[in-house]
C-alpha cells in the first residue's frame, strides 16, 4: 500500500516528465474544473492507457502543464475542485452514468503539497484503462489524445481497441468433439434457415446438398478441427450440451405480468436456442389494433406487435448476451408492452450513434455466434436491425422502441409498445408522410413526455410540428388542422391568461370571494396541458399573486381558509 511520501514521490516524477503523454494530463484547476471536460479526459485517458498497455492513465489537477525553466518541473498551484465529499460523490456518479461502458472511479489521491495555498491540494485521479475490445465513450462520443491534445478518438485507434474483442470471443471457444450433443431437429431447422437466406444463390444451395453436417458447420466457422464451438451448441445443441459450455447455461425465459407488474406465469426455454426462438414467440399474444386515419371512416387494422421487430429484438439479445456472466435472456410480456432483457453493455454506446452512423457496427460481443446468425437469416448483414426497428414502428404509427441501459452489472432492456399512447401523435405521423425518422423519434419523445434538447425543440417548431412553452410541448395548430383535431388543440393549448383574469374580476365585482369559489370558477376551464390537481392549483395561485402585484385585487384575511380576495380599492 502506498504511503503519503510515496504519492509525493510519484507526483514529483510526473511533474519532471519532459512532456505530457497520451496517458498523463495536468490541469491547473485552481478554483474548479468543468465536469464535462473532466468526463472527456476520462474517456481519452482510459482509451489511450488501453492502447499503450498501461493499467491506468492519470489526470492531475492543481499542477500547471508547463515546466518552469528555473526549476525544471511543473509548478504546484493547488486546486479547490470537488472540495467536499458530496462534490466528489456527485462527480463520480456523473462519470459512472455518462461513460459507456460505465467506469467507476476511485476517490482521487489528495496530496497536501507544501507549495499548495491554504485550503487547496493536488488531486491525482487514476483513470482505469478501457477494457479489452471496449473503447470508453463520454456522453456517446469517444475521446483520445494526439500527443498532449484532447481529440476525438481516431478511427484507427478506435478499431484497434475494438479488434481486441476478437481475442476474447466467448462463443468462438472450442467446447467439445462430441458431435452427438447436436440436436438433429435443430440442425435441420438451421439448414432450412440457411437455405432461405441463400434462396437466390443456386451455387450455395447446390454445395449444401453434397455437404455433410460437419463440413457445413466448419464452413460456418461453428466448428474447427473436428471440434464444436460454444456458438454451435448455443444454437443447435441438446439441453445436455449446457454442461460443456464452461459454466453459464444459455436460456430464454418468458414472463407474463399483469398491469401492476405482478408475475402471472412464466416458462423457460433451454437449448437449442434456434428452436427456442419460435417457441417463445408462439407464447406472445398477438391481437389486432384499430387505428382511424384522420378524416376517414374506415379503420386501419394492425397487429399490436410486428413479427420482424419482435424477432430482431430477441435475436439481438441472443447475439449480444454476455454469457460469461450467466443469467438468462428474458422477455417480459405486460398487457401493453414487451420488454427484452440481456446482460452486457450496449457496445455502440448510444442508440443515437447507431441511428446516426453511416458506418455499420463492426463489433459483436460474440462474433462467432453473430456471424452464424447472419448466415441463418436471423440477423441483418450490415447491422441495420435497430434502425429498421424504428422505421417499421414509424410506418405502423406505433411508439418507438425504448432502450434502457443499466450498470453493475451492465445490461440492456428494449421495450416495444403494443398500443398507441396518444391519438394526436398517431394522426400527426399519418398526416406528415414526409417526416424523417429523426423527426418522428423526436415527436415520439414529445408524446412520452420525455425531455428534448433546445435545438431539438427548435427543429420541430421550425416545421410547425409542435407548439407550447417550456416543457409543455404539444401538437401544433398546423398538424391539428391537417388531422381534424382543431378542438383538441384548443383544449390542449388553453386560453390566454387575460381571459382568466377577466373572469376573476367579474366574480369579485359581485363581492369578495374565497379561494374555493375562484377554483370552482376556473378549474373546469384550464387547459389539458396543465395536468394534476397540484399543478392546476398552483396555476391559479400564481394568477392571483400576479393580479395582486398589478394592484387589481387584494387579499383580505391572510393565507388562511377564511381568507378572501376582493377588488383593489
Separation CA 467–CA 266 (nearest Å): 44
Tell me if 72 is assigned to some domain: yes
Residue 486 has pLDDT above 70, yes or no: no
What confidence score (pLDDT) does residue 491 get?
A: 47
Residues with Cβ within 8 Å of residue 111, at least 6 apart in sequence: 4, 7, 8, 11, 121, 122, 123, 124
What confidence score (pLDDT) does residue 87 get?
A: 85
> Which helix (DSSP H) or strand (DSSP E) does residue 340 occupy?
strand 337-343
Cell of 269: 426455454
What confidence score (pLDDT) does residue 294 get?
A: 60
Tell me if 375 is assigned to some domain: yes
Look-up: residue for cell 439448414?
Answer: 191
Of 86 and 233, more confident: 233
Separation CA 135–CA 51 (nearest Å): 10
Q: How many helices (H) and strands (E) does the chain have?
A: 21, 24
In this structure, are 31 and 102 located in the same domain? yes
Tell me if 404 is assigned to some domain: no
What confidence score (pLDDT) does residue 473 get?
A: 64
In this structure, are 233 and 325 located in the same domain? yes
Separation CA 41–CA 23 (nearest Å): 10
Q: Pairing between strand 329-333 and 337-343?
A: antiparallel
Q: What are the DSSP calls for 49-107, one per residue?
A: HHHTT-SEEEEEESB-SS-BTTTTBPPB--B-TT-SHHHHHHHHHHHHHHEES---PPP
> Which residues are 564's β-sheet partners?
514, 556
In this structure, are 327 and 186 located in the same domain? yes
Tell me if 417 is assigned to some domain: no
Least confident of 12-26, 419-433, 434-448, 452-466: 419-433
Least confident of 356-360, 400-404, 441-445: 356-360
568 DSSP 8-state letter: -
In this structure, are 42 and 91 located in the same domain? yes
Q: Omega of the bond prior to 478 within 30 degrees of 0, cis?
A: no
Of 208 and 474, more confident: 208
Residue 559 has pLDDT above 90, yes or no: no
- 396, 413, 436: which is the final residue of a domain? 396
Residue 490 has pLDDT above 80, yes or no: no
Among the listed residues 103, 106, 128, 124, the one whose alpha carbon sits nearest the alpha carbon of residue 50: 128
180: number of Cβ within 10 Å? 9
What confidence score (pLDDT) does residue 430 get?
A: 77
In this structure, are 210 and 284 located in the same domain? yes
Tens digit of each residue's pLDDT (9 = 90 or more) over 385-419: 899 999 999 889 899 999 999 877 889 999 999 98
What confidence score (pLDDT) does residue 251 get?
A: 93
- 470, 493, 516: which is the final residue of a domain? 493
Q: Where are the alpha helices (H) located in 145-183, listed in sequence order?
A: 155-163
Residue 121 contacts residue 110 (beta carbons within 8 Å)? yes
532: number of Cβ within 10 Å? 8
Of 495 and 302, more confident: 302
Q: What are phi and psi of 415, to 5 degrees?
A: -110, 125
Number of domains in the chain: 4
In this structure, are 489 and 502 located in the same domain? no
What confidence score (pLDDT) does residue 2 get?
A: 54
**R_g over Cα of the chain:** 31
Separation CA 310–CA 333 (nearest Å): 12
- 130, 163, 196: which is the final residue of a domain? 163
Sign of the torsion formed by the C-alpha atoms of 352, 358, 360 and 361: negative
| E strands present in 371-430 | 402-406, 411-417
What confidence score (pLDDT) does residue 225 get?
A: 93
What confidence score (pLDDT) does residue 446 get?
A: 81
In this structure, are 218 and 280 located in the same domain? yes
402: number of Cβ within 10 Å? 16
In this structure, are 224 and 280 located in the same domain? yes
Residue-range definition of the domain harbouring residue 340: 169-396
Q: Pairing between strand 24-27 and 56-61?
A: parallel
Separation CA 191–CA 185 (nearest Å): 10
What confidence score (pLDDT) does residue 186 get?
A: 98
What confidence score (pLDDT) does residue 489 get?
A: 43
In this structure, are 281 and 343 located in the same domain? yes
Q: What are the DSSP calls for 9-32, one per residue?
A: HHHHHHHHSSS--TTEEEE--SS-
Tell me if 32 is assigned to some domain: yes
Mean pLDDT of 498-524: 87
What three-state secondary structure class fits 263? strand
In this structure, are 240 and 378 located in the same domain? yes
In this structure, are 355 and 447 located in the same domain? no
Q: Using a cut of 0.75, tell me whether the model's pTM lies above it.
A: no
Separation CA 44–CA 452 (nearest Å): 27
Look-up: residue for cell 422502441?
Answer: 401
Residues with Cβ within 8 Å of residue 428, at least 6 apart in sequence: 443, 465, 475, 479, 483
Q: Where are the alpha helices (H) located in 463-532, listed in sequence order?
A: 477-482, 486-493, 497-510, 515-522
Percent of the chain predicted with pLDDT > 70: 87
In this structure, are 231 and 127 located in the same domain? no
CATH number of the domain that residue 370 is part of: 3.30.565.60
Residue 565 has pLDDT above 80, yes or no: yes
CA dihedral 226, 230, 231, 236 (to 10 degrees): 80
Tell me if 325 is assigned to some domain: yes
Separation CA 541–CA 467 (nearest Å): 25
Mean pLDDT of 236-258: 91
Residue 58 has pLDDT above 70, yes or no: yes
Amino acid at each position: 500500500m502506498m504511503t503519503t511520501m510515496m504519492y509525493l514521490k510519484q507526483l514529483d516524477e510526473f511533474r519532471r516528465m519532459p512532456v505530457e503523454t497520451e496517458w498523463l494530463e495536468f490541469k491547473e484547476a485552481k478554483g474548479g474544473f468543468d465536469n464535462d471536460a473532466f468526463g472527456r479526459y476520462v474517456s481519452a485517458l482510459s482509451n489511450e492507457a488501453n492502447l499503450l498497455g498501461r493499467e491506468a492513465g492519470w489526470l492531475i489537477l492543481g499542477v500547471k502543464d508547463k515546466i518552469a525553466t528555473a526549476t525544471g518541473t511543473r509548478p504546484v498551484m493547488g486546486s479547490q475542485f470537488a472540495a467536499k465529499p458530496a462534490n466528489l460523490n456527485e462527480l463520480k456518479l456523473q462519470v459512472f452514468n455518462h461513460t459507456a461502458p460505465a467506469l467507476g472511479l476511485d476517490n482521487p489521491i489528495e496530496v497536501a503539497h507544501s507549495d499548495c495555498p491554504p485550503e487547496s491540494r493536488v488531486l491525482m485521479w487514476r483513470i482505469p484503462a478501457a477494457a479489452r475490445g471496449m473503447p470508453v465513450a463520454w456522453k456517446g462520443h469517444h475521446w483520445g489524445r494526439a500527443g498532449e491534445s484532447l481529440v476525438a478518438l481516431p478511427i484507427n485507434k478506435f478499431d484497434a481497441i475494438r479488434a481486441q474483442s476478437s481475442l476474447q470471443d466467448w462463443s468462438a471457444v472450442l467446447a467439445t468433439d462430441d458431435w452427438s450433443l447436436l440436436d438433429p431437429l435443430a440442425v435441420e431447422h438451421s439448414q432450412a434457415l440457411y437455405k432461405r437466406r441463400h434462396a437466390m444463390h443456386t451455387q450455395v444451395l447446390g454445395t449444401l446438398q453434397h455437404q455433410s453436417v460437419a463440413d457445413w458447420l466448419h464452413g460456418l466457422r461453428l466448428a474447427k478441427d473436428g471440434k464444436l464451438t460454444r456458438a454451435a451448441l448455443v444454437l443447435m445443441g441438446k439441453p445436455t450440451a449446457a454442461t460443456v459450455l464452461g459454466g453459464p447455461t444459455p436460456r430464454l425465459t418468458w414472463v407474463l405480468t399483469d398491469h401492476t407488474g405482478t408475475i402471472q406465469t412464466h416458462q423457460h426455454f433451454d437449448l437449442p436456442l434456434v428452436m427456442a426462438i419460435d417457441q417463445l414467440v408462439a407464447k406472445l399474444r398477438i391481437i389486432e389494433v384499430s387505428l382511424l386515419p384522420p378524416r376517414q371512416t374506415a379503420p386501419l387494422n394492425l397487429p399490436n406487435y410486428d413479427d420482424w421487430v419482435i424477432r430482431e429484438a430477441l435475436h439481438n439479445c441472443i447475439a449480444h448476451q454476455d454469457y460469461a456472466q450467466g443469467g438468462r435472456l428474458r422477455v417480459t410480456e405486460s398487457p401493453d408492452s414487451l420488454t427484452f432483457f440481456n446482460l452486457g453493455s450496449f457496445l455502440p454506446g448510444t442508440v443515437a450513434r447507431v441511428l446516426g452512423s453511416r458506418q455499420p457496427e463492426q463489433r459483436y460481443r460474440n462474433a462467432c455466434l453473430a456471424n452464424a446468425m447472419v448466415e441463418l437469416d436471423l440477423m441483418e448483414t450490415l447491422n441495420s436491425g435497430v434502425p429498421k426497428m424504428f422505421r417499421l414502428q414509424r410506418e405502423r404509427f406505433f411508439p418507438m422502441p425504448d432502450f434502457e441501459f443499466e450498470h453493475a452489472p451492465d445490461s440492456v432492456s428494449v421495450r416495444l409498445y403494443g398500443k398507441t399512447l396518444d391519438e394526436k401523435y398517431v394522426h400527426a405521423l399519418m398526416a406528415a408522410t414526409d417526416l424523417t425518422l429523426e423527426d418522428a423519434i423526436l415527436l415520439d419523445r414529445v408524446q412520452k413526455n420525455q425531455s428534448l434538447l433546445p435545438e431539438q425543440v427548435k427543429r420541430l417548431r421550425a416545421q410547425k410540428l409542435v407548439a407550447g412553452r417550456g416543457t409543455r410541448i404539444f401538437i401544433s395548430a398546423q398538424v391539428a388542422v391537417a388531422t381534424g383535431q382543431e378542438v383538441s388543440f384548443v383544449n390542449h393549448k388553453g386560453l390566454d391568461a387575460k381571459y382568466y383574469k377577466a373572469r376573476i374580476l367579474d366574480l369579485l365585482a359581485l363581492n369578495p370571494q374565497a379561494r374555493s369559489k375562484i377554483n370552482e370558477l376556473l378549474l373546469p376551464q384550464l387547459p389539458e396541458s396543465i395536468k394534476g390537481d397540484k399543478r392546476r392549483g398552483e396555476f391559479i395561485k400564481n394568477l392571483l399573486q400576479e393580479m395582486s402585484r398589478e394592484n387589481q385585487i387584494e387579499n383580505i384575511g391572510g393565507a388562511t381558509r377564511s381568507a378572501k380576495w376582493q377588488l383593489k380599492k
